[in-house]
Amino acid sequence: MTDEDPWAEGFNVFGELDVDDVPDDPFHIDDNRYNWLVTKAQFKTHELKDEQARTAAMNNGEPSLIYKAYFTVQVDEPTSEFHGKPLPLQFNIYPWLTRQKLEDMTDMERKGRIQENMSRFKEFARGIGLSESDFKELKPNTVATICVGNKFSAYLRNNNSNGRVYKNLSDYKEVEDAEPTDIFTEFAS
Is the pLDDT at 188 greater than 60? The verdict is no
- Whole domain around residue 128: which residue ranges? 31-41+68-188
* Mean pLDDT estimate for the chain: 83
Residue 16 lies in a domain: no
Residue 171 lies in a domain: yes
Is pLDDT larger for residue 175 or for residue 172? 172
Is pLDDT larger for residue 78 or for residue 160? 78
Indicate the number of domains in the chain: 1
What pLDDT was estimated at residue 14? 83
Residue 115 lies in a domain: yes
Residue 61 lies in a domain: no
**Which of the four pLDDT bands, split at 50, 70 and 90, describes residue 6?**
low
Comparing 8-17, 41-50, 68-77, 144-153, the range with the smallest average pLDDT is 8-17
DSSP assignments along the chain, one per residue:
--SS-TTSS---TTTTS-GGGS-SSTT---SEEEEEEEEEEEEEEEE---HHHHHHHHHTT--SEEEEEEEEEEE--TTSTTTT-EEEEEEEE-TT--HHHHHH---HHHHHHHHHHHHHHHHHHHHTT--HHHHHH--TTTHHHHHTT-EEEEEEEEEEETTEEEEEEEEEEPPTTPPPP-HHHHHH-
pLDDT tens, residue by residue, 95-144: 888 888 888 888 888 889 999 999 999 999 999 988 888 888 788 888 88
Is the pLDDT at 183 greater than 70? The verdict is no
Is pLDDT larger for residue 16 or for residue 75? 75
Residue 165 lies in a domain: yes
Is pLDDT larger for residue 113 or for residue 13? 113
Residue 103 lies in a domain: yes
Is the pLDDT at 54 greater than 90? The verdict is no
What pLDDT was estimated at residue 185? 41
Distance CA 181, CA 152 (A): 11
**Which of the four pLDDT bands, split at 50, 70 and 90, describes residue 180?**
low
Cβ-count burial 109-148 (b if 16+ within 10 Å, e if not)? eeeeebeeebebbeebbbbbbbeeebeeebeeeebbebbb
Residue 104 lies in a domain: yes
